[in-house]
Structure 1
Amino acid sequence: MTERLTGASTAISRYRWVVLSLCWLALVLTSVDRSTWGPASVFVGEDLGVPLASLGSFATAYYVGYVLSNAGNGFLSDRLGGRTIVTMSLVGAGIFMMIFGSTSSATVGIGVQAVVGLFAGADYAAGVKLITSWFRPDELGKAMGIFLSATSIGVVVANSTVPMLIEHFAWTTSYHLFGALSVVAGVVCWFLLRSGPVDVRAAATDSGSTGAVIMTILRNRNLMLVAVAGFGGCWGTYGFITWSNTLMIKGHSVTPSTAGFIVALFAALGVFGKPLIGIISDRFNGARRVPAMIVLGCFAITLLVFGMLSTPIGFLLAAPFLGLSAYCYLPLLVALIPRLVSSHVVGSSAGVTNAFWNIGSVLVPITVGAVFAASGKSFLAAFATLAAGPIVAMVALYFVDERPSSVSVVIDTKS
């Protein structure tokens, strides 16, 4: 009997890494889908006759869909399971990426970007739900760090390959290619993913109705503060990803390929930094709040420093430091969520908080574009606007209690 349990435990231990790998791959591809816009935006604008100040409309449309998706699909992840939502996310986003690559109308393109965001946004909450079901709370820093490194890799892949594809083919090629890859990955996830045995239960019993779940989430003070913190962090991170290529090209005459390389270098540091900070926080008794505050403070400072630079060499030297601070707060915030809520609302909580986080991503493209234009195309003014986000985030985290007493952990060894 003991040998049978040991064998089952070993199988679970091995398979959870398959789950993490597939969730990671799915998030890489939806992040590539999102990040393709940055290096392609100038060329899309020229092709579709969109002025520079209006390019932010495409990114804003994407994030409107993304936010709505997170708000709703977190609940669907809890109801239908992570596998269904991950598959739907990848296949839907992939199909509409290919449609966007074939559009010749700016109006249609903006609408299609919103639909891409609507599908791509479903992936995150479902991934958090699946990973949380396979990894214990004291391992979540490492697991979420690895999972969320996918968003950085997506930026690296997009900024490394899209300029090259545009140079040799056209901007449409990247949308067709990455869209097709997303569809294939969605089919693979459908056949290989399943939920796991780890259960994090609140001491009190919560109603399972959607209305009761929403009220449970909204009454959770700590969760709402984490939502505000993520809003500020995403304001800085995705504002930079959306606008940095264009700002460097138009503000300081940096070549598109050099701008793409700088943003890829920025994101590459996040690839290594996210798992590393997750592992460190697990080792130090699972601390999340204070390290996240420190990282966000560094993020605000490095954004201001970047805004004071004007040469490609300066941007290249600053990009790694900016990349570390722009990404490493995120796994700490995500790993906080399962500690603050019970398991049956983890997907819903992840979806709602990420939706609120990405309201920053909705507002920042238009805000930065307006500030850049109103300030006489001031590079520093644009980056000072981005830096306001992590400052707000740092203040919100100061008031979070990351160790509430109402959550306990159960591991179902029968699974």
Structure 2
Amino acid sequence: MEKNLASSSDASGADWAAPGAGETEVSPYRWVALFIVWAAFLLSYVDRVAWSTVAAPVGASLGIKVSLLGAFVTAFYAGYVVANIIGGMLTDFLGGRAMMTLALLPLGVFTFFFGETTSLTVGILIQLAMGFAAGADYSAGMKVIPAWFTRDRGRAMGIYTTATSLAVVLANAIVPTISAQYGWSSAFRMLGVATFAWGIVSLLFLKNRPGGERAPVRNSAKEMLGLLRNRNLIFLSIAGCGGLWATVGFGAWGNALMTRQYGISSVVAGSIIASFGIGAVIAKPTLGWISDLPGVSRRLMSILVLVAFAITLMVFGMCSTVTQFYIVAPVLGAFSYGYLPVLMAQVSDASGKRLAGASAGWTNAIWQMGSAVSPLAVGHVYGGTHSIVLAVLTLAIGPVVGLIAMLFVSRRIAQI
């Protein structure tokens, strides 16, 4: 079944690209398209991690227990998981531009109003809505990129995924500072306005595919459901879920662990996590570019990065001084996000361009289940033990599960 599905994807992908395949490689606009989806992903991710940068002080002012500080993050990802399943399929029907716009405009509105949160219940409801609104931005980007990039798809994915790590840098560098000077509500209002504005930009300037290409044949529900039987996609989904369990869990708790365990100020902790993000920004395009080189195994790259991720997490848990955190954080950032472009390229390879939106939606929905659960799991462990070592050990379980899953991915996935 897997082999037949791959062959079908090859055929449909070739038929889609045949009239103007060269344009995907030479058109300067492809970099404009990549920038638009990259910036959309950046703003979406800043919106989702902004709470984590101020969770400890703002949570205390709202009377939220330390064990529940991750509840807002979990609520966001609960909505995000559901929206990925729906949004991935709709992206293949409506196109990347339409779904990008439908994701960003409501996300901007909900982010703006999250600044008015006065209780745990209200905050959870708004974050749930934010996650549901944002759920299609990833699938939209994963639909647009394969349409414009073919031979250098890994590099494009690497650049695209720098948005998430750069978002961590920007959120930690900007949100705590704005919150300290103008109040945390103002920070979320600014983010909401910026997100809404970029939704308008996407609507006006994003193109779904090169002009010389025919519109792709509509995918049937049977074809989309057939992706669920693709062995490679199944294990790539498990691997991504394990990886993001640790990536998002650390993003949600990294600041709070340092501020509560060692009394580090929120501004300094934000600076440390910003250096974590810088490491990721450098690693993503580098690893994506390497994965495009002839003879390089994306599967093996994924396994090695996940192993290093688990080990570096434990090293971070043993740190206790600001200097030590500054040294380890960039390295941890490189490994905690570096596996993503390599996994994403393999997802695209396994499904083909015509089913790129649906495959991205299905796999990312499973990936984000780890994102949804890990903040609460870490909160429960840390709230009960007040041990940073046990907290990061809980996180490290994810990459270990991920690398085991990668062992079952085929050594050779047909590239489209």
Same fold per TM (> 0.5)? yes
Counterpart of 1:370 (choices 375, 380, 385) is 380
Partner of 2:147: 133
- The aligned counterpart of 1:189 is 202
The 5 Å alignment of 1:278-317 reads: 278-285=288-295, 287-317=297-327
- 2:35 aligns with 21
The equivalent position to 1:223 in structure 2, one of 233, 245, 254, is 233
Write the letter of the residue equivalent to 1:164.
T
CA distance in 2, matches of 1:289, 1:172: 43
Structure 2: tracts of 5 or more residues without a match = 1-18
SS at 1:343 equivalent? coil
CA distance in 1, matches of 2:411, 2:174: 40
Letter in 2 for 1:181: A
Once residues 198 and 382 of structure 1 are traced to their aligned partners in structure 2, the CA distance between those partners, rounded to angstroms, is 51
Task: Determine which of 375, 398, 407 is the counterpart of 1:389.
Answer: 398
Contact 1:145 1:276 in 2 (8 A): yes
Quote the residue 1:92 is aligned against. Answer: 106
Are positions 1:401 and 2:410 aligned together? yes
Asked whether the 8 Å contact 1:93–1:120 carries over to 2, the reply is yes
User: What is the rounded CA distance, in whole Å, between the counterparts of 1:126 and 1:240 in structure 2?
Assistant: 26
TM-score by length of 1: 0.91
Work out whether 1:144 is the aligned partner of 2:157. yes
Q: Deviations over 1:104-155 (max 9, x none)?
A: 232111100011111112100110100011111x311100000000001111
- Say if 1:199 and 1:30 are closer, same or farther in 2 by CA, change over 3 A: farther
Q: Does 1:232 align with 2:246?
A: no
Deviation at 1:9, TM superposition (A): 3.8
Read off the aligned partner of 2:311 and give its amino acid letter.
I
Which residue of structure 2 aligns with residue 171 of structure 1? 184
1:12 deviates by 5.4
- Aligned-partner residue type, residue 173 of structure 1: S
Counterpart-to-counterpart distance in 2, 1:276 and 1:90:
28
Deviations, residues 293-316 of structure 1 (Å, cap 9, x unaligned): 111100000001111111111111
Please give the alpha-carbon distance, in whole angstroms, between the structure 1 residues aligned to 2:219 and 2:140. 18
Q: Is the 8 A contact 1:159 1:264 kept in 2?
A: yes
Aligned mates of 2:25, 2:381 — CA distance in 1: 54
Matched with 2:10 is: none
String of CA shifts for 1:345-391, please: whole Å, max 9, x gaps.
110100110110010011101111111123x2011000000011001
Sequence identity (%):
41
User: Normalization by structure 2: what TM-score?
Assistant: 0.91
The match for 1:71 is 85
Is it true that 1:209 corresponds to 2:220 in the alignment? yes
- Aligned-partner residue type, residue 395 of structure 2: L
Deviation at 1:47, TM superposition (A): 2.9
1:230-266 deviation per Cα after TM superposition (whole angstroms, max 9, x unaligned): 0010011110000111111111111111110111100
Q: Is the 8 A contact 2:89 2:224 kept in 1?
A: no
Give runs of ≥4 in structure 1 deviating > 3 Å: 8-12, 197-200
Shift of residue 94 of structure 1? 0.7
Deviation at 1:199, TM superposition (A): 12
Shift of residue 194, structure 1, vs aligned partner: 1.4
How much does 1:46 deviate? 2.3
- The equivalent of 1:243 in structure 2 is 253
Corresponding residue to 2:131 among 113, 117, 123:
117
Do 1:43 and 1:171's aligned partners in 2 also have CA atoms closer than 8 Å? no
> Which residue identity lines up with residue 325 of structure 2 in the other structure?
F
Q: Which residue of 2 aligns with 1:275?
A: 285
How far off is 1:341 after superposition? 1.1
Name the aligned partner's letter for residue 109 of structure 1.
Answer: G
Aligned to 1:103, what secondary structure does the other structure show? coil
Matched residue, 1:413: none
- 1:254 partner SS: coil
CA distance in 2 between counterparts of 1:235 and 1:119 reads 21
Residue 399 of structure 1 and its aligned partner are, at CA, apart by 1.4
Using a 3 Å threshold, how does the CA distance of structure 1 residues 402 and 339 change in structure 2: closer, same or farther? farther
Aligned equivalents of 2:294, 2:390: Cα separation in 1: 38
Q: Which residue in 1 is equivalent to 2:350?
A: 340
Find the counterpart in structure 1 of residue 11 from structure 2: none
Distance in 2, matches of 1:134 and 1:302, equals 35
Q: 2:190 is aligned with what amino acid?
A: L
Q: Using the alignment, how far apart are the partners of 1:164 and 1:400 within structure 2?
A: 44
Please tell me whether residue 32 in structure 1 is matched to residue 46 in structure 2: yes
How much does 1:227 deviate? 0.2
Give the match for residue 9 of structure 2. none
Secondary structure of residue in 2 paired with 1:328: helix
Deviation at 1:286, TM superposition (A): 5.3
How many correspondences in the alignment?
394
